[in-house]
Structure 1
Amino acid sequence: MKMIHSVFKKIGIMKQSFHLQYILLVIIGFVLLQSCEDNWKWETVTAKGTPTARHEAGLVAFKDKILLIGGRRINPTDEFDTKTNTWTAKSPTPIELHHFQPVVVGDAVYLIGAMTGKWPNEKPLDKVIIYYPDEDRYEYSHTIPKDRRRGGAGAVYYNNKIYLVGGITNGHVDGYKPWFDVYDPKTGEWFVLPDAPDARDHFQAAVANNKLYAFAGRRTSKKTDQDMALTSSHGNVYNFESNKWEAVTENLRITTERAGNSAFAWNNEIVIGGGESLAHEIAHSEVEAYNSKTRTWRNWPSLNQGRHGSGFAIVGEYVYTASGSGNRGGGPELTTIERLKLPTDLGDKSDEFVDLTPVYKQWHTVTLSFEGPQTSEKAADNPFLNYRLDVVFKHAETQDTIRGFYAADGNASETGADKGNIWKVRFSPSLKGDWSYSADLYHKDSIALKGNLKQAESIAISNKEGRFSVIESDKDGLDFRANGILEASKGYFRFRDSKKYWMKGGANSPENLLAYIDFDDTYRLKTSNKDGEASTTEEIHAYPNHLKDWKEGDPTWKNEKGKSLIGALNYLASKGMNAVYFLTMNILGDGKDVWPYTDSETFDRFDVSKLAQWEIVFKHMQSKGIMLHVVLQETENETMLDGGDTGPLRQLYYRELIARYGHHLGLIWNLGEENGSAPWSLIAQNDRQRKDMAKFLKETDPYKHPVLLHTHSEDPHRSVILDSILGFKYLDGLSLQQSEREHAGEIVETWKSKAKAVNQDWLITMDEIGLWHTAALPDDKDPNHNTLRRYALWGTLLSGGAGVEWYFGAKHPHNDLTSEDWRQRDRLWELTNYATGFFQDHLPYWEMEPEHKLINSKDAYCFRKKGDIYAIYIAAPGRHTINLKETEGMFTLQWFDPLQGGELQNGTVEKVIGGGITALGGPKSKNKQDWVCLIKKINDKK
């Protein structure tokens, strides 16, 4: 300050106003600061010798040396002596190693979370590799668990352990992960920790003040031609003291999005430098620092040479970087080395606004908790009936009102609590951008059922209003959170946002999937041995044979309960299945072992802990791409609530399910199994009651999930019911049951045609194929499921069906109620996956219609988009022809094997011409089996 005043005196302004002095003080201060910044910059080091040019390598400080390890190809280990500025070549890596962040532990450098091999199909390492610099020696160490191997991950050393976060499992193709693990370098023990909030790869992590920071990176997806497009916008923070990931907030938004960056911690700052992105071809030179105390960003001096695929290394009072690629992608590979003198300040001086707005992701569930009055499941003042939580979510383009629910202590899945003061809401935002919400808790007798809130009491709650932002989803593949909500469109399933179509294939049994021993208060009311249904014992499901399918990192509850059911769903997903049918209430029904209530006789009180445990399973199903086929009742209990009306008990039941589970993206509401009257089920709902149910579900569900009706298996019982509901706008289609499999395709086509006649595109899936006592037998009884494959699978799909589910029958082991092991039908899942995969990969099936008469065989099905594409199933070899009089031009002809799947194969005829009847020839294979022929129009445009 004395220096500044002397400057004022020299230029003759000491007598000027204080205000002017202040302005000049600011200006001069800025000039002095700018002068300091000009002097703080990276310098390119003049070195003796040069390292091997490389990128995607590891750079790390070891004592007073800098080690450059790995990179594309097998390279020598280059050592830089910071005292003499000399490069020396050491031993090469034992294999090609790249995309890793090296970690120093004692006298060794650990290489973990790395890849090997060529772009884009690199493979992750199966073992930890250790380099001993003093001995110039590499060795293989502990095996990395098979299900946790990945490359491009961030690695840090903290409290004698190595922590690995993020990474990608399948080179640059796909498989980016939010995984988080801890590895003990002494013992080799490996533990899976909770996933990070965001998936990312191609980045580096750092630790400051007992927290791990993961900034930058991307979600590499060559599979979708998004190699560099999906850069991560926000960082993640793991608190080692609380052992939890902190909530993602706007202050964690990185200033410059990039991947392939370097990172290190200095004082209170996490420094991010270099990298690559689509912003420009030249690699990033920006260096930016996030202060872990002030939670703000500031700029550090930019690199002289932008680079990615390298690292930072601190030796003495300098940070160094070397090597890398000067442009995005593979080159030019650099040999230069730079250094920057490290600042002595802590970077803590900031008056910036810290934006703590929560950040969520598109289509991911936003769960908000509110503290309200203390109550319980059994309170005289019923919390399910006499309280109502409404939450209004607003976006510039839309507004959604979502009903909340009573959640006891807010953690009932773990505590089993039946009391507490927490209400929750679950919401899946479909739009990116800024959102706000406002919540109101109302109290009045039966307010949960009534629309008029004017006379209700408004109850004070916490967290009543708030804001959050929504960014792009970080999920990929089959996870519904990568695609959005499923709807019914043109007689098929389609993702509402992306407009992609989706074909269903899955399990219809066991229908009492949720009668599971690890769910709270779940048991069988009584055993049964009736004609027409499966026999039961006192035992409910335990799924012991699927315990081995549970994977580290998968969810559990109450000290590792739930593993076998989660494992069973893992297995089914691994076979390519994407749907499971299950009852949520079978009181009076076949199993008598599933209900959402606190007991089987009280229909206005819900078991909060059980339903919270169901949610854990449902959430996992959605992450695996498995649709929730929610069947609301059985034929035996369809009049149990309100005599079949949509009265107070049924409304409350539906509202609870919608509030707790409606946020899931892949979900069907099924009005009930075998709904309606039949000779064996005379006490049943009538046409008005069916329509009231469908209308209530459609109008109450804010997500408008498809509503289907499960049918009887034969006409006229089926047609009497369906004819009366044709044209009803609140019903999206049928969950079809058919007793004789030979007529499966015919029945699908019949009801689709009837619906079209009244201007409806009914979505029809074949969900229960008979005969009722045998249905889909285990593989050892029916190895290739010949008639199911022919009639129920290909016959259904090639007749316009939107998918299939397999019913297990009632009168043999592993049946519809007692099945414990989905592997009993391993082959059936494979055959189903071949068929649904063929439709997804090769057909615009939503634009196609059945026209079986085009083929000269009664043992064939034909599905076609007129004049463009024809898919033909032929049951047996023969001289088959197709009538192409309806079109002209040249077509290619290939064959698909429904028994083995795989690629399309050329046959004895490779091209056909439209305008007449033409022979199909056949596959070159000599196997006498069924085949699928694909005929596609050759586009004449050059």
Structure 2
Amino acid sequence: MKMLSLDNCYLLTSKTDTRRHDKRPWAWLLWLVFFPGLCHFSFAGVVSGELTQWHPVTVSFNGPAASETDNNPNPFLDYRLQVTFTGPSGQRYNVPGFFDGNGNGGGSGNVWRVRFSPDEAGNWNYAATLRSGTNVAVELAPNAGSAASLGGATGSFAVAGRDPGAPGFLKWGRLEYVNKHYLKFRDGDYWIKGGVDSPENFLGYKGFDNTVNQSGGVNTAGLENGLHRYLPHVDDWNPGDPDFTSADTGFDSRGIIGALNYLSSENVNSIYFLPMNLGGDGRETYPFVGPGNNNFDKAHYDISKLSQWNQVLNHAQEKGIALHFVLAETESGNENWFDNGNLGVQRKLYYRELIARFSYLLAIKWNLSEETDFSDNNLRAFADYIGALDWANHQITFHTHPNRLNQYDPHLGDTRFDTTSIQYNPNNANDFVETMRNRSRNNGRIWVIDMDENNPASEGLTDTNANDLRKRTLYDVYFSGGNIEWYFGYHSLPLGGDVRTENFRTRQAMYRYMWYARRFMQEQLPFWDMQPNDGLLSGESGAFGGGQVFHKAGEVYAVYLPDASPSGTINLASGSYTKRWYNPRNGQFQGGATIVGGGAHALGSPPNSADQDWVVLLRAEGGGGNESPTAVFLSPSAGEVFSVGDSIQVEVEAEDADGSIANVRLFLNDTLVRQENFDPYRWNDRDQDTALQNLAAGSYELKAVATDNDGASTEAIITITVEDPNANNAPSVSFTEPANGQTIGVGDSLVVTVAAADTDGAVANVRLFINDAFVRQENIDPYRWNDRNQDPQLQNLAAGSYELKAIATDDLGKSSETSVTVNASDNGGEPVTLSFTPTNDAYLQNGTPFNSNELRVEHNRRTAYLKFDVSGISGTVTDVKLELQVSTDPGNGNIAVFRGQSNNWSESTLSTATAPAAGAEVGNRNGTWSSGVSYTLEIDSLVSANGVVSLVLDMDAGGNDVAFSAREGAAQPRLIVTYTP
């Protein structure tokens, strides 16, 4: 007998049941009858897992019976399971699910499943939909295909609070991009990566089902049948660890699980691997039922193998090892395996299956390709599709060919990407990290700089060169503000390397050096706020490229000396500093601490071994730090209005009370215009800055960053507007009937009338949608629908809430849209819930109005305003909520909602003069605001009857700005009012 996991609901079954085509898919249901207490089980589906914040939660549903080899319909391609999870604070996640055979690894059955990791304690609700149709799985439109039967489509479960003693990442939460050069755990610290890049075929393991090495790959001499066994790590397996056996080979999981245990024991915290390498080097790793280069194999997935993969990858999470999924290999056979190298049905399904099964894991990086040869447009398309599916918003990147930083140039500033994956010569490490930090920051999207493959490929990291690479590469990366994974080179066994790595202990020396460096940074440095500045050090030994300086000006300086004789002189900001020597070879501070003054300071000799490498830590004593410079715009003035075609001239005044100005950088909408090093600080005064010429109509942010001689900086920001007096104005559009929030009876029909006009032309047409489904286009005024019972979509409405959207287009093609919500109810005396979208919304930034698809909120800088027309209430209001979805810019802090004291404003007339003053606070929320997540704020005192109401949103001091989707955006704000008739 064998104990198998139904994602923490455990089953006793025979070994033969672990393969696909299981003949007894009902076995687990009988087992649950006898052991129901181990799962949260109800007719609302089976909810399993520890039910603790950040721990995996699985919801299993009874759906259509199928087999993993079925073709008509194909359960992977012709069905689509989506589950929406709604959390205690109103956050919502739309999570893709998957077909899971009999639920315990068998390939036939009726179990459909979703995996999720709740980010908050409290009550969670879920609602599932199953759609069917040809290729519906890869469609993103919510209504694609048709509804299919699914048992237990809705339900709820309670989640306990975060467990600080949980294993691995479960104690800290999801690893996230936070607009810095380092990732951060949601409920933990900033993270420094120190991982392994070999073997890329980590999952090409003998203990997995259906894992067979295919011909045509690289030399795998020394590996039994071309597969890993990781025999040196079998003894690293521990009782209680995942323990499964391949039905094909009889080999168990202890080698691969033991390998992860060993890496974790050495504090290695990331591993790089390919989930599909057919057509590439190794050719034994694939998630499909077969390795054939045909449509059938590419569209059918091996359920038992993926279940085994999940046990291994979840174990990595519990051991604190991040998962670097490399989704393609550079060989043309692999790059073109799906859809001839493009984004089509095959590649979309591949992405969806991986995301559905593994995106619940807390630390993932999606790497689009090793040594990418894909076009820039394809890379963008791949990232867009992954971003649309990955509810957890994991990092996305692509890997370069050796020393090819220019592969990133077309993507700098692109919000699709947030990390690098650089292949490099060791001598380039310092320059590459600092270059990419600067390039990404100057182009408006700060990237996390990952150095993911050290050349030369023939050598890499071995068992003999750790000392050299510690001095040449490790600290060059870390003290330049980067992260690292080590490639093992191409070596025969027993050393092994690349696809022939069997024993991770062969690189143990580097793991320890890497941990000493990371531990020093984590314990001693605010590394996430520090900058590299090697120019502060002079006169040191030039061995291995010379010293490295990582600092926060006036507070802390960390200096790495590959050879401490001579150690050189560092230029410190004014003040007093404690100096200590740290030995990077044993991870210990040595010698005593001394107090030194600021300015030029000779580092002196280390406690011993002056010809070896050392780290010097200088930390400021209290007071006496560097004073930041000042910066102010002399021209243009804040809020100044220009015309299309004007040339914008800029002048900034910058001063430093305790030093001198090193430079002033000017940014337009976060894109660097140019750096000025000398006073006067002017741009475009001689028409030399094309970025400030011929601007299109719109609002622009100018930011000047002044930096002093000690590295401290200050920024000044103003906003200007460019208008086009000859621009075509969009038409106006509004609903005459029905009223926003109107309630009708179940089975009733709607008559819709829309008013539309165009001030500088004519209205060409008006299109009507109900819940985003097209009804009909009207080309002639009056714009009416169903007034003669001609529109069946508006007839015999079932109970529910319906959004009506009208889009008016003028004779020059410009459009405007508006929406109202109608509710169909037969509740009688039961509570009725109405949903309203704003009639107007906009925000002020430093007094300048912005009416776009976003609402931005930032303390003392950006205030958002919303207006709702509440109607249809015929009873006592019992509950009022405001629902907002964070768009492209996440943040944190307390956002308060105030009642606006007037309604005499619109999004087109909003100004400091017309904006409603903030009245009484009606609600607030304090915490993290994550991109793509919807939040609900309780504002019960706002509404008691029908009428127009305005809201003012502001952020308290100490928060980080947030952008919400506006009514013109992808997810409109909603005012949700519940009343009792």
TM-score, length of structure 2 as denominator length: 0.56
Unaligned runs of 5+ in 1: 1-191, 199-238, 251-355, 677-684
Corresponding residue for residue 836 of structure 1: 518
1:892 alignment partner in structure 2: 578
Q: Tell me, what secondary structure is at the counterpart of 2:311? A: helix
How big is the shift at 1:241? 12
Verify the 8 A CA contact 2:197 2:452 in the aligned structure 1: yes
Task: Answer yes or no: is 1:557 the counterpart of 2:349.
Answer: no
3-state SS, counterpart of residue 510 of structure 2: helix
Question: What's the CA shift for 1:534?
Answer: 9.5
Moved more, 697-706 or 803-812: 803-812
The Cα offsets for residues 85-139 of structure 1, whole Å up to 9 and x where unpaired, read as: xxxxxxxxxxxxxxxxxxxxxxxxxxxxxxxxxxxxxxxxxxxxxxxxxxxxxxx
Amino acid of the structure 2 residue aligned with 1:761: I
What is aligned with 2:616? 933
Aligned to 1:457: 146
Structure 2 counterpart SS, 1:728? coil
For the residues of structure 1 that align with 2:184 and 2:410, how far apart are their CA atoms? Answer: 30
Tell me which residue corresponds to 1:792: 473
Residue 357 of structure 1 deviates from its aligned partner by 12
1:649 Cα shift?
1.1
- Summarize the Cα distance change of 1:437–1:890 in structure 2 as closer, same or farther, 3 Å threshold: same
**2:361 maps to which residue?**
664
1:254 corresponds in structure 2 to none
Aligned partners of 1:651, 1:193: CA distance in 2, in Å?
Answer: 30
2:612 equivalent to 1:820: no
Aligned residue number for residue 605 of structure 1 = 300
**Aligned equivalents of 1:244 and 1:562: distance in 2?**
28
How many pairs align?
A: 580
Q: 1:508-537 CA distances to partner (integer Å, 9 max, x unpaired)?
A: 10110000001110011015457xx99977
Letter in 2 for 1:829: Y
Q: Where does 1:379-778 land on structure 2 (aligned, <5 Å)?
A: 379-380=70-71, 381-395=73-87, 396-412=89-105, 417-454=106-143, 456-476=145-165, 479-498=168-187, 500-526=189-215, 528-529=217-218, 538-558=225-245, 561-600=252-291, 601=293, 602-636=297-331, 637-676=334-373, 685-714=374-403, 718-738=404-424, 740-778=425-463
Q: CA distance change for structure 1 residues 453 and 731 in 2, over 3 Å: closer, same or farther?
A: closer
- Paired letter, 1:920: L
More deviation in 620-629 or 386-395? 386-395
Deviations 1:317-338 (A, max 9, x none): xxxxxxxxxxxxxxxxxxxxxx
SS at match of 1:921: coil
| Alignment partner, residue 247 of structure 1 | 39
CA spacing shift, 1:379–1:249, aligned 2, 3 Å = closer
1:462-519 deviations in Å (ceiling 9; x for gaps):
2221111111133526611100100123444433522520111111101100000011
Find the aligned partners of 1:357 and 1:555 in 2 and give their Cα distance: 18
Paired residue secondary structure (1:545) = helix
Aligned with 2:498: secondary structure? coil
Please tell me whether the aligned partners of residues 49 and 55 of structure 2 are also in contact (alpha carbons under 8 angstroms): no
Taking structure 1 as reference, are residues 641 and 536 closer, same or farther at Cα in structure 2, changes over 3 Å only? Answer: farther
Give the AA of the match of 1:543: Y
The answer as to whether partners of 2:560 and 2:614 remain within 8 angstroms in 1 is yes
- 2:742 match: none
How far does residue 927 in structure 1 lie from its aligned partner after superposition?
5.9
Q: Letter of the aligned partner of 1:869 in structure 2?
A: V
For 1:703 and 1:604, the matched residues in 2 are separated by 25
8 A Cα contact 1:766 1:792, kept in partner: no
Q: For each residue in 1:292-343, what CA deviation from the matched residue of structure 2 results, as whole angstroms up to 9, or x when unmatched?
A: xxxxxxxxxxxxxxxxxxxxxxxxxxxxxxxxxxxxxxxxxxxxxxxxxxxx
Distance in 2, matches of 1:839 and 1:792, equals 16
CA distance in 1, matches of 2:346, 2:38: 41
Distance 1:935 1:363, change over 3 A: same
Deviation string, structure 1 residues 182-220 (Cα, Å, up to 9, x no partner): xxxxxxxxxx9999999xxxxxxxxxxxxxxxxxxxxxx
Residues in 2 aligned to 1:866 and 1:469: alpha-carbon distance in whole angstroms: 47
Quick one: distance in 2 between partners of 1:439 and 1:477? 29
Asked if the contact 2:574/2:624 (under 8 Å) is kept, the reply is no
Aligned ranges 1:134-533 → 2 under 5 Å: 246-247=38-39, 360-380=51-71, 381-395=73-87, 396-412=89-105, 417-454=106-143, 456-476=145-165, 479-498=168-187, 500-526=189-215, 528-529=217-218
Structure 1 SS opposite 2:147: strand
| SS of 1:839 mapped into structure 2 | helix
Per the alignment, residue 955 of structure 2 pairs with none
The one-letter code sitting in structure 1 at the alignment partner of 2:78 is N
Which deviations, in whole Å up to 9, do the C-alpha atoms of 1:913-938 show, x marking residues without a partner?
11x21111232124631011111001
Task: Tell me the amino acid that sits aligned with residue 472 of structure 2.
Answer: Y
Q: Cα 1:612–1:383, aligned 2, differ >3 Å: closer, same or farther?
A: same
Q: Which amino acid aligns with 1:809?
A: G
Distance 2:348 2:459 in 1: 36
SS at match of 2:446: coil
| 1:912 counterpart (596, 604, 609) | 596
Distance 2:260 2:127 in 1: 37
**1:245–1:474 distance in 2 versus 1, CA, 3 Å:** farther
Q: Give the Å deviation of 1:735.
A: 1.1
Residue ranges of structure 2 left out of the alignment (5+ in a row) = 10-30, 626-981
Counterparts in 2 of 1:30-41, with a 5 A limit?
none
1:608–1:838 Cα change, 3 Å = same
Shift of 1:760: 1.9
Gap change, CA 1:586 and 1:455, over 3 Å in 2 = closer
2:550 to 847, 855, 863: 863
**Rounded Cα–Cα distance in structure 1 between residues aligned with 2:365 and 2:561:** 33
In the alignment, the residues of structure 2 paired with residue 642 and residue 571 of structure 1 have an alpha-carbon distance, to the nearest angstrom, of 39
Residue aligned with 1:596, SS: coil
8 A contact 2:236–2:261 mirrored in 1? yes
Q: How far off is 1:603 after superposition? A: 1.1
Deviation, structure 1 residue 407: 0.3
Question: More displaced, 646-655 or 443-452?
Answer: 443-452
Query: Match for 1:922 among 589, 605, 612?
Result: 605
For 1:719 and 1:759, the matched residues in 2 are separated by 18
Check whether the contact 1:767–1:804 (CA below 8 A) recurs between aligned residues.
yes
Could you tell me which amino acid in structure 2 is paired with residue 750 of structure 1? T
Distance 1:517 1:505, change over 3 A: same
| TM-score, L = length of structure 1 | 0.59
Summarize deviations over 1:777-803 as a string: whole Å, max 9, x none.
12xx33xx12211122111011110x2
In structure 2, distance between residues paired with 1:673 and 1:891: 45
| Inter-partner Cα distance in structure 2 for 1:696 and 1:922 | 55
Indicate conservation of the 8 Å contact 2:54/2:119, yes or no: yes
CA RMSD of aligned residues (A): 3.0
Cα deviation 1:329-367 (Å, max 9, x = unaligned): xxxxxxxxxxxxxxxxxxxxxxxxxxx999811111110
CA–CA distance in 2 between the matches of 1:436 and 1:881?
Answer: 62
Q: Which has the higher strand share?
A: 2
**Residue type of the alignment partner of 1:735:** S
Would the alpha carbon gap of residues 910 and 663 (structure 1) be closer, same or farther in structure 2, given more than 3 Å must change?
same
